Structure 1
Amino acid sequence: MHQPAPTADLLHRTVPAPAGRLHLVEQGTGPLVLLVHGFPESWYSWRHQLPALAAAGYRAVALDVRGYGRSSRPARSDAYRMVELVEDNLAVVRALGEEQAVVVGHDWGSGIAATSALLHPEVFRAVALLSVPYTPPGGPRPSDAFAQLGGDEEFYVSYFQEPGRAEAEIEPDVRGWLAGFFAALSADTMPGPGRPSPHFVTRAGGRLRDRFPDDRLPAWLTEADLDVYAGEFERTGLTGALNRYRNIDRDWQDLAPHAGAPIQQPSLFIGGALDATTTWMAGAIDALPTALPRLASAHLLDGCGHWVQQERPDQVNRLLTTWLGTLPS
C-alpha cells in the first residue's frame, strides 16, 4: 500500500525564465532530475516521485510548466509552442547552477522532455517518457490528422483548438470537470467496453464531460488532491494549459528540420496498458528501439490507466530509480 508522500522537505522557489518566471518544487541533493507534467496537472503530479528520487540520491525538481500554477502565463497563444517550453527547461537547469539534467515527462510533458533531449543533448543527458512514446518529428500536419479521426464525432485535440470553446465548458465547474477527466482516464473508473469514448465529443454542441464518470473518484485521487488541482485552475483559468494544444501545427513547422531524427541519449518508457494513448500509439511503442536507439526498456503496466506515476507510484519509482542508477554519473 503506497504511503502519502511527505511534503515537509519540499522547497518551493521561482526562477527567471524567458516568459517571466517558473515555479519549481525541489527535494534532495545529487544529480539533477527534472520532472515535467502534462495536462491538466501541475508540479503536484510528481508528489510521489520527489521524495523517492531524493531518497535515492538525486536532486529532484518538478516545475509548473509555463501557463500552469505559479509559473508565468503569457497572453500570446504562440508563446506555448514546444521550442519555447524547451527554452524554459534550459532556463531551469541554468538557474539551478547545473550543467546537465535527466529529464522525465508525462503526457504533454513527455513531448516537452523528448524535444528537450532532441534539441539539446549536451544538457539533457537522458530522458524518461511516461504515457506518450517518442515519435520523431515529421509526418502529416497534426491538425489535419486529428480532424480525420472520429467520423461523426470530434477528437478532443480538435475540440481544444478554438480559443474559449473548451474554457466555456470547464471553467464554470473546474473541480467537477477535473474530477471527471481524471476518472475517465483512470484504470479503475474509466468507461467500460462498449461505452462512448471520453476522448470524443458529438459535433452538434457536445461536451467532453458528457461522457465522464461522475459518481466516484479514482483510487489514486483523494478529495485533498483534487482540491490542489482545482484550486490552481480556479485561480489561473485553463487558457494557458489549453494553449499547448493550440500550437501543434506551429510545432510541426518548427521541428521540420529534425524530421525523422532519433534521440541518442539513454532513455526509458513507461505506460499504462489500459491507457488509450498506448493503444493508439502502439506502433510508436513498437518503433521505440529505432526512435530511441539507447532505450533501456519499455514497460506497459498491467491494469494501469493514463496517470501512471500517480496510479502506480511505487512501481514507477522503482523503474525510474533502477534506470537512473545505470546512467553514468
Structure 2
Amino acid sequence: MKQEPGKAEAEIAKIGGAQVLRTVLTYRGTGPPVISKEGFGHNPNGPQPLPSWLSEEDLAYYASKFDKSGFTGPLNYYRNMNQNWELTAAWTGAKVKVPVKFITGEVDMVYTTPMINEHINGGGFKKDVPNLEEVVVQAGVGHFNNQEAAEEISNHIYDFITKF
C-alpha cells in the first residue's frame, strides 16, 4: 500500500485511536486487512465486541498511548517495505539454522494471506527453516495469539525450551 505521509494519520485522528485499535484487534477476516473506502476504523464485519482477553480499560490504555505518540511510527514500517527488502538483501536465501517451533493463529491475518499458508504448510517454510520442529496452528486464534491464548502460548514455549 503506497500512502503519502500524513494522510492516514489525519484519517485516524478523525475517528480516534480507540476505534482503529478496536478494528485491528478484533479483525477476523482471512488475508491481510483491507482498508475500505470508509477508512481505517471501518470493520466490514460490523462492530465487533471486544474479545475476553481485551477489556475496555485495556483498549482505552493502548489508545491513550497511540493518541499521545500517534500512528506514524507503525505506519512508516509499511511505507518503508521496499527499503526493508533492499537493506536485508544480503540475507536472501539464508537459512534459519536453530531449532524452531512456529506458532500462529488459524485466523491470523498474516497466516491466512494467500501464499503464506501454502508456504508454511507446503514445505517451503521447512526449506527456509531446516530445523523447524513443529508448526502449531491455534484454532480460532488471530494475529495477537500471545494475548488471545496466553496460557497455551506459554505452555508451548515452556515445552519447547525445556528440551534444551
Report the TM range for the smaller structure's normalisation: 0.7 to 0.9
1:316 aligns with 2:153: yes
Q: Displacement, 1:198?
A: 7.5
Decide which structure has greater strand share: 1
> Which structure has the highest helix share of the two?
2
1:262 to 73, 81, 95: 95
Aligned alpha-carbon RMSD (Å): 2.1
What is the distance in 2 between the residues matched to 1:298 and 1:198?
21
Letter in 1 for 2:157: L
Asked whether the equivalents of residues 106 and 138 of structure 2 are also in contact (C-alpha less than 8 Å), the reply is: yes
Shift of 1:183: 1.3
AA matched with 1:200: V
Distance across 2 between alignment mates of 1:168 and 1:219: 31
Structure 1: stretches of 5+ with no match in the other structure: 1-157, 185-189
- The match for 1:201 is 35
Choose the corresponding residue for 2:120, options 285, 289, 299.
Answer: 285
Greater length-normalized contact order (CA 8 Å, ≥ 6 residues apart): 2
CA drift at 1:293: 1.2
Q: Cα distance, 1:206 vs. partner?
A: 4.2
Task: State the TM-score, normalizing by the size of structure 2.
Answer: 0.85
User: 1:253: Cα distance to partner?
Assistant: 0.9
Post-superposition Cα deviations, 1:85-109, rounded to whole Å, max 9, x if no partner, equal: xxxxxxxxxxxxxxxxxxxxxxxxx
Which digits, 9 at most, give the CA deviation of each residue in 1:9-33, with x for residues without a partner? xxxxxxxxxxxxxxxxxxxxxxxxx
Corresponding residue number in structure 2 for 1:271:
104
Aligned position for 1:299: 136
Contact 1:199 1:208 in 2 (8 A): no
Name the counterpart of 1:211: 43
Q: What is the distance in 2 between the residues matched to 1:240 and 1:215?
A: 26
Q: Is the 8 A contact 2:101 2:132 kept in 1?
A: yes
Match runs of 1:129-140 below 5 Å: none
- Cα distance, 1:311 vs. partner? 0.8
Give the equivalent residue in structure 2 for 1:27: none
* Distance of 1:273 and 1:198 partners within structure 2: 13
- The one-letter amino acid paired with 1:292 is V
Shift of 1:240: 1.2
- Aligned residue number for residue 170 of structure 1: 12
Which secondary structure state, in structure 2, belongs to the residue aligned with residue 277 of structure 1? coil
Shift of 1:309: 0.8
Equivalent residues of 2:100, 2:132 under 8 A apart: yes
Contact 2:19 2:41 in 1 (8 A): no
Between 1:313-322 and 1:266-275, the stretch displaced more is 266-275
User: Matched residue of 1:211: which SS?
Assistant: coil
Q: In 1, distance between residues paired with 2:159 and 2:135?
A: 13
Decide whether the 8 Å contact of 2:20 with 2:40 is kept in 1: no
Q: TM-score, normalised by structure 1?
A: 0.45
Alpha-carbon distance between aligned partners in 2 of 1:198 and 1:246, rounded to the nearest angstrom? 16
SS in 2 for 1:210: coil
Residue identity opposite 1:285 in structure 2:
I
Q: 2:23 is matched by which residue type in structure 1?
A: G
Shift, 1:165, TM fit = 2.0
